Chains A and B, each alone.
Chain A
Amino acid sequence: MPRVSLKIVGASGQGINSIGEILAKGLKRSGYCVFGYREYPSLIKGGHASYQLDVSSEEIASTERTVNILVTLNHHGLQKNLGDVKEGGVIVHAVQDWKFSESELKQLSQRKIRAIFLPVDTILEKLKAKAILGNVLISAFVWALLGRDKESLKALVAERFKKKPQLVEANMQCIEEGFGFTDPAGAVSIALPPPQDRWKKCLLITGSHALGLGAVAAGVRFFAGYPMTPSTPLLTAMADMQNETGMAIKQAEDEITAAQMVSGAMYAGTRAFTTTSGGGFDLMSETLSMNGIIENPVVFVVAQRPGPGTGLPTWTAQADLLMTVYTAHGEFPRAVIGVSGSADAFPLFAGAFNLAEEYQIPVIVLTDKQLMEGLYTQEPFDPSAVSIRRGALVTDPAKLAKLSANDRYDPATKSGVSQRWLPGSEAQTFCAQADEHRPDGSSTEDAAVSQAQISKRLRKGDALKAALPEPEFFGSKQPDILLIGWGSTKTVILDALRDEQLQGKKVGYLHYSYLWPLKTDTFVKLSKSAKKIVLVEGNAQGQLGSLLRQESGIEIREKILKFDGRPFFYDELIERLLPIVSKS
């Protein structure tokens, strides 16, 4: 699959994101599938950050370690990122009078890499333009380098500055200059594969925004959250949409508050959620348990980053699976759903609210920095695919009138799911009781009643497990090599399976979206016929592997694990898969 990649590096706050966004949008509109990936340190200004775009005319949602074009806004990029450029690639920089060392020059020449100095400062001075306009100038030069037409970029930039018309003219001049500049050593270009119309109508969207739209479609009306990277983009997305959605948004004083407010709002009868990362979720775990016993539907989003402790705040991980499955005291059912990209973030998140209400349980939606900040080329979501199911919620006045307080936590129900009704409903009242309780919520320490209530609640987990779909299978039917994974590694695995190096091999991928309760029938069946099972996870212990062994008795010995804060890169994953595939 032909791919082209370009990376913009510079100091945080220097404008690399804005160049990345302009180019990403321009390429998508020209008919390319684009995947955007950011790396940045946990600080606001300075540090070394990057924005990489991987581009193809075919479906793509992964990042390569090396790039065809490196754009660097400062000299650090020229020192640190030379090795990231592919043979035959181009470096564009804006560092006046930069001199490469002898060995660097030799390296560049051997690998046929062209380094082009774009005199950004001189051009801006000539135009009497502000430094920030350098971003458009650089974008224009790269746009020309990719063989794109000037007018499409002008249209895009004009749109971007729609609300600041006084800046449009200067931007247009910068585009002219960017297109007009030719390196003294001669023109150069990087060829893109022929575009495809199907990408033009797609959305260019982060995982966070896909989740946010899922919440809106699911009828969420209240959001409370406390900022924590990498969950903050979702908080931002909800807040930014509030004037259109009419949603009530609360930036809470801490994570416990956010979790409790959302619990109260769900108990009252609206749909609400909160979002946090691992450390914040630790603080919410007592509230999770509380919702377990009062049988209150509630939805938590956990955006993973590497821990323990503060860990690597701005990097990615898949190391909180076991935490979300096991955290919080006592035995109660819950659902853990892993989203893998913009495509399933929307429907799975919207569906999370249905599961929460249908089973009256906490639902945890696991995501990670890779998804939250990853920029995906996404078919427009189908809003009609989202249905709102509220389970055993009683709202009809005639039915309410017939309810007994003992219906609320009736332990006799086969599925364990009992009727639920809302404060303010004209009916008999009950207590949402976090002490062990009788069917009406009055507290008790009676042995038989306690056991019956614990069993009632756990039966909901059994019912949920029976209703959940099996994991999704991709790739060669009856695979020799069976890959197993979850979360954001899905898109890189699927990209890798489409690579020509893996063609003709019988490789399949089993992807778990529903991580708890864990269905194992398909896994067991495939395991029997596969010659080799390989676990691919972004953690050090193979956490899904542990759960699979616990639930099926099958131990996965072959593991491709990564736990350095970075996602699996496309070429890296292929490199790690090839020896396994070729041996079998």
Chain B
Amino acid sequence: MSIPLDSSGPQMKDYASSQMCTWCDACGDYGIWTAIKKALVELKIHPWQALLCFDVGCHGNMADKLNGYRFHGLHGRVIPFAAGAKIANRTLPVIAVGGDGASFSEGVGHLVHAIRSNYPIVFILHNNANYGLTTGQASALTPKGQKMNVSPNGIPERMLPSMDFVFSLQPTFVARGFSGDIPQLTGILKEAIAHRGFAFVDVLQSCPTYNHFATHDYLLEHCYDVGKEGHDAKNFEKARQLAVDTSQRIATGVLYRDEDVPDFCEELVPRKGKTTELIEEVQSADITRFYPEFI
């Protein structure tokens, strides 16, 4: 625990909202909520310096349960909005938050292209393996055969192998956390925020109301910290293997990171050498320089 006691930086109370939390008792969202605030405080990021973007779902109800500049938009679409904001102002730490329904069904294309584009933002996946806010339907990450609302006979589809899928896209940062381990998750988020490009953080969370197969206790028993076992996060193949194979134990921590891949903004030729942000450049530009081609 390293909550700063000196008064120069932001305090946890600066992130406190007057709005009451509305999640179910024992919901994993509480842990993720706390870890996000702690990570920002420990990185000395004031609420006014951060942009937190929320998808729609139980996690999205966090949007007014903490301070900071926030955005709470449409289901499945949080990533491109967050990326657009970041491109406009790279000085903002941008964190996008979405659930497994939004990220692996409705807006899966955005996740694919965010990894491909390597936007310099953090994406936190609230992974409770179901659609909580719409009352417990299966998501693409619910195990096959599981009985859920709208699937009284069990889900006919196979579960989407999310981690294998993410690794197939050549990500530059992949981590997995657990909503029940706030200190570890805080550390993961701090590293994700510091990452050069797109940081994918899968957070396994309990859903006490609808997820009866991967409960808090189950996750508590199965999760272990790869950092404590000497995992080298530069080893792509090993990281992929650890991420994919959850049959015995569930690997958590920073699984993979590559700081050598330039982010999307760095790759833009017209932006090379620019010291200003797009938000500082809104002024009428010379158009007459283009006239010769039209004369």
Contacts and interface: CB of A to CB of B under 8 A. Distances in A.
A442 B71 contact: no
A96 interface: no
A224 B84 contact: yes
Interface stretch (A167-175, A236-244, A490-498): A236-244
B286 to A, nearest CB: 7
Contacts of A390: 282
Contacts of B67: 429
Interface in A422-463: 422-435, 437, 440-443
A242 B270 CA distance: 6
A218 B77 contact: no
A195 interface: no
Interface in A238-295: 241-250, 252-254, 256-258, 260-272, 286-287, 290, 294
Interface string B266-294: 00111100100111011111111111001
Given A268-B51, A422-B279, A256 B84 contact: no
Nearest to B110: A257
B70 A270 contact: no
Contact of B73 (A262, A426, A434): A434
A319 to B, nearest CB: 27
Contacts of A218: 284
A423 B74 contact: no
Contacts of B285: 216-217, 219, 245
Interface in A357-379: 378
A270 B279 contact: yes
Given A261-B80, A270-B281, A431-B72, A250 B61 contact: no
Interface stretch (B85-93, B122-130, B142-150, B229-237): B85-93
A345 interface: no
A264 B72 contact: no
Contact of A205 (B83, B278, B294): B294
B92 A268 contact: yes
Interface string B80-123: 11111111110110000000000000000110110000000000
A113 interface: no
B269 A203 contact: no
A446 to B, nearest CB: 13
B213 interface: no
By size class, the interface of chain B is 35 or more
B71 A431 contact: yes
Contacts of A387: 284
Contacts of B112: 253
B85 A264 contact: yes
A218 B287 CA distance: 10
Contacts of B80: 252, 256-258, 260-261, 264
Given A431-B72, A432-B72, A434-B74, A265 B283 contact: no
A116 to B, nearest CB: 32
Contact of A257 (B69, B113, B277): B113
Interface string A287-321: 10010001000000000000000000000000000
Nearest to B87: A248
A213 B290 contact: yes
Interface string A379-404: 01101001110100000000000000
A6 to B, nearest CB: 21
A431 B70 contact: yes
B170 interface: no
B287 A213 contact: yes
Nearest to A256: B77
A213 B291 CA distance: 10
Chain A CB within 10 Å — which of B61, B63, B69 has the most?
B69
A218 B284 CA distance: 5
A264 B82 contact: yes
Nearest to A261: B84
B17 interface: yes
Contacts of B87: 222, 248, 250, 261, 264-265
Contact of B109 (A217, A224, A253): A253
B47 interface: yes
B50 to A, nearest CB: 8
B160 interface: no
B283 to A, nearest CB: 5
A375 to B, nearest CB: 10
A442 B277 CA distance: 29
Nearest to A28: B295
Contacts of B17: 442
B63 A443 contact: yes
A209 interface: yes
Given A386-B284, A429-B47, A431-B70, A241 B290 contact: yes
B85 A267 contact: yes
A473 to B, nearest CB: 29
Contact of B92 (A246, A287, A424): A424
A219 B283 contact: yes
Nearest to B294: A203
A431 B284 contact: no
A221 interface: yes
B90 to A, nearest CB: 10
A232 B53 CA distance: 30
Given A246-B271, A264-B85, A431-B71, A423 B284 contact: no
Nearest to A434: B73
Contacts of B74: 260, 286-287, 290, 434
A141 to B, nearest CB: 25
Contacts of B84: 222, 224, 260-268, 272
B69 A430 contact: yes
Contacts of A222: 84, 87-88, 278
B48 interface: yes
Contact of B64 (A217, A423, A433): A433
B197 interface: no
B81 A263 contact: yes
A307 to B, nearest CB: 24
B242 interface: no
B248 interface: no
A201 interface: yes
B64 A243 contact: no
B19 interface: yes
A53 B247 CA distance: 70
A263 B64 CA distance: 20
B49 A424 contact: yes
B70 A429 contact: yes
A507 interface: no
A388 B295 CA distance: 27
A269 B70 contact: no
B20 to A, nearest CB: 10
Cβ-closest 10 pairs across A and B: A264-B84, A261-B84, A423-B69, A260-B80, A268-B88, A442-B64, A203-B294, A264-B85, A269-B279, A264-B81
29 contacts: A222-B87, A241-B290, A246-B274, A247-B270, A248-B278, A253-B113, A257-B109, A263-B84, A264-B80, A264-B83, A265-B84, A267-B85, A269-B279, A270-B88, A270-B89, A270-B282, A272-B84, A272-B88, A390-B282, A424-B48, A424-B69, A424-B89, A429-B47, A429-B68, A431-B71, A432-B72, A433-B70, A435-B63, A443-B61
Interface of B: 17-19, 46-51, 53, 56, 61, 63-64, 67-74, 77, 80-89, 91-92, 109-110, 112-113, 265, 268-271, 274, 277-279, 281-291, 294-295
Given A242-B270, A253-B110, A290-B74, 9 more contacts: A248-B278, A263-B81, A264-B88, A267-B71, A388-B283, A390-B282, A430-B69, A433-B72, A441-B70
